Amino acid sequence: MKKKFLLNQVNKEPYIDLNIKDLQKWNKLDEITYAQMQRQKYKYEFFQKAFDLIYDNTIVGDYFEFGVHRARTFRFAMSQAKRRNMKKIKFLAFDSFEGLPDVNNNIKQNDKFKKGLLITSENKFKNYIKNFNFYKNNVKMIKGFYEKSLNKKLIFSLKKQNTKACLINFDCDLTQSVDQALKFSMNFLQEGTILYFDDYFSSYKGNPNKGIPNIIKKRFKKSKFNIVEYLNIGYAAKSFIVYNK
Ligand SMILES: C[S@@+](CC[C@H](N)C(=O)[O-])C[C@H]1O[C@@H](n2cnc3c(N)ncnc32)[C@H](O)[C@@H]1O
């Protein structure tokens, strides 16, 4: 009896349904859909947790996203803010709306970071967020390559409105883009701001002495703020919380 029971249990291993039937006819589209479903699921979970922490720590501020493309994470942020009835929050969308720039060593960083990839026009972006009409007046799109768009005039105008960030999403792949975005963002940090770096482990194959981890270290070394590790997200992202030194 005991033997039969044990045999049955072993047959149930590995206890997770691997859907072997599906795997027999697995094609390229399945591969992409599967990867995206996994990735977006973990990102969405992060936004649920991050907004819960913002709520619990009473962090008042705006949402910045560098690299908005198809507005997937942008919509996650808007939906989670709305669930907390955050009425005054603004959503700042920073993008070239012309895809990735050429920074000379795109492919060295990751062979998926080719120049001109990931283009979403402004109109397409607006269309992706059209159902979020309750936040129609809270969204601000800042078009242009960061080298030019993240300028002193913009810093001045945002500071004049006492802008502070509650959550900043760095989802612009290239180290140079993240560095420009982070340098700009240093002006709008406060104790409790959450920083999310989408490509933390996917630039330079995760080498901590290169790419995104390296520029984060450098920027905070000379800042009045410091960061503490918060959550690791999905396969490549990492987040931090800002605090006063
Ligand atoms: C991976 S996509 C963003 C994905 C998006 N968060 C989503 O969930 O759909 C990267 C985006 O970063 C933008 N980008 C990268 N570097 C940039 C730069 N230097 N200036 C402006 N936009 C940049 C690209 O145009 C692209 O839309």
pLDDT tens column, 137-146? 999 999 999 9
What six digits make up the tokens of 169?
A: 């999403």
What number is the average pLDDT over the span 146-150? Answer: 98
- pLDDT on residue 3: 78
How far away, in angstroms, is 21 Cα from ligand 1 center?
A: 37
162-194 burial, b for 16+ CB within 10 Å, e for fewer? ebbbbbbbbbbbbbbbbbbbbebbeebbeebbb
pLDDT value for 11: 77
Pocket test for ligand 1, best of 36, 177, 233, 235 (most atoms within 8 A of CB): 177
Residue 99 Cβ < 6 Å to ligand 1:
yes
Cross-strand partners of 232: 238
Torsion of CA 50, 56, 58, 63, to 10 degrees: 10
DSSP string, 132-147: -GGGGGGEEEEES-HH
User: What backbone torsions phi and psi does residue 27 show, to the nearest 5 degrees?
Assistant: -120, -175
CA distance 92 to 106: 26
Of ligand 1's atoms, which has the minimum distance to the CA of residue 172?
12
Q: How far is ligand 1, taken at its centre, from the CA of residue 172, in Å?
A: 4
More confident site: 230 or 17: 230
What's the pLDDT tens digit per position in 110-139? 999 999 999 999 999 999 999 999 999 999
The ligand 1 atom nearest the CA atom of 120: 27
User: What are the two backbone dihedrals, phi and then psi, of residue 242, each rounded to the nearest 5 degrees?
Assistant: -85, 140
Ligand 1 centroid to residue 148 C-alpha, Å: 15
pLDDT tier, 6 (very low <50, low <70, confident <90, very high otherwise): confident
The predicted model gives 165-183 an average pLDDT of 98
Q: Which domains does the chain have, with CATH numbers?
A: 24-244 (3.40.50.150)
CB-count burial class (<10 Å; 0-12, 13-18, 19+) for 149: middle
Mean pLDDT of 85-100: 97
Residue 174 DSSP symbol: S
Give dist(CA 34, CA 41) in Å, integer: 11
Which strands sit side by side in the sheet containing 237-244, from one edge to the other? 139-143, 91-95, 62-66, 165-170, 194-197, 237-244, 225-233
Query: Is pLDDT above 90 for 10?
Result: no
CB 89 within 8 Å of CB 62: yes
The percent of residues above 90 in pLDDT, for the chain, comes to 91
pLDDT at position 1 over 80:
no
